[in-house]
Copies of this chain bind each other. A is one copy, B any other.
Amino acid sequence: MSTETLFEAPPMAEQERMVEAILFASSEPLDTRALTARLPHGCDVAQALALLQKRYAGRGVHLLRSGDDWAFRTAADLSFLMQKEVVETRKLSRAAIETLAIVAYHQPVTRAEIEEIRGVSVSRGTVDLLMELDWIRLGRRRQTPGRPVTFTTTPGFLAHFGLETPRDLPDLKELRAAGLLDNRPPPGTSVEREVDDDHDQDDMFE
């Protein structure tokens, strides 16, 4: 009995305070695993997060989720007040923006596929820049001849664009329905690859 008491979790209100303090102190999003590790034994992080998110709804600061990561962020509608704090980010080239969008919507996607969609070769610098921004990263290799590497988006990408999951990408459903996210090979080439690609893609967005 006495040992059990020692490891009894604090009351939920206290757990909520703790999660609040930890997330408030961090500029980086933290996932539930990291939070659990920082909290006393037996805490229910998911419930504490849910309560906290509710508490901050409508405040000047919101609790945002992206993927499994959680972070406090200022409310987007107050962005006009924040101009002073904003560090002007580099203007992205059109090539970089399009490449990012293609990776986001077609992930996992190979460089050859990106090039096919854009109709031009993708420069090394563009990929490097997106990797440096921590928006894209290498995924697993495609199980096709040559085993090309694929690219996927990162949790940092979701956090930056305020997306909870890749499924929240704008117009994703419409684009899928229109068949514009299929990897349709040029006529006369084998269909084999298509099946593989679809399978991978489903994994990613499911």
Residues of A within 8 A of B (CB): 16-22, 24-27, 38-39, 58-61, 72, 74-75, 78, 81-82, 84-85
A58 to B38, CA, bound (A): 20
Q: Are B84 and A21 in contact (CB under 8 A)?
A: no
With beta carbons under 8 angstroms apart, the residue of B21, B39, B60 that contacts A21 is B60
Q: Are B22 and A82 in contact (CB under 8 A)?
A: yes
Contact status of A38 and B81, CB under 8 A, knowing A17-B60, A20-B59, A59-B20:
yes
A-B contact pairs, 8 of them (CB 8 A): A20-B59, A21-B78, A21-B81, A21-B82, A22-B81, A25-B82, A26-B85, A38-B84
A27 to B86, CA, bound (A): 11
Known: A20-B60, A25-B85. 12 other contacts (CB 8 A): A16-B60, A17-B58, A17-B60, A17-B75, A17-B78, A21-B60, A21-B81, A22-B82, A24-B60, A24-B74, A25-B74, A38-B84
A19, A60, A84 — most chain B CB neighbours (10 Å): A60
Q: Are B84 and A19 in contact (CB under 8 A)?
A: no
Q: Are B17 and A59 in contact (CB under 8 A)?
A: yes
Identify the closest chain B residue to A82 (Cβ): B25
Cβ–Cβ < 8 Å partners of A21 in chain B: 60-61, 74-75, 78, 81-82
A22 to B60, CA, bound (A): 8
Q: Are B85 and A18 in contact (CB under 8 A)?
A: no
Cβ–Cβ < 8 Å partners of A60 in chain B: 16-22, 24
Identify the closest chain B residue to A26 (Cβ): B85
Closest CB in chain B relative to A13 CB, distance in Å: 9
Cβ–Cβ < 8 Å partners of A59 in chain B: 17, 20
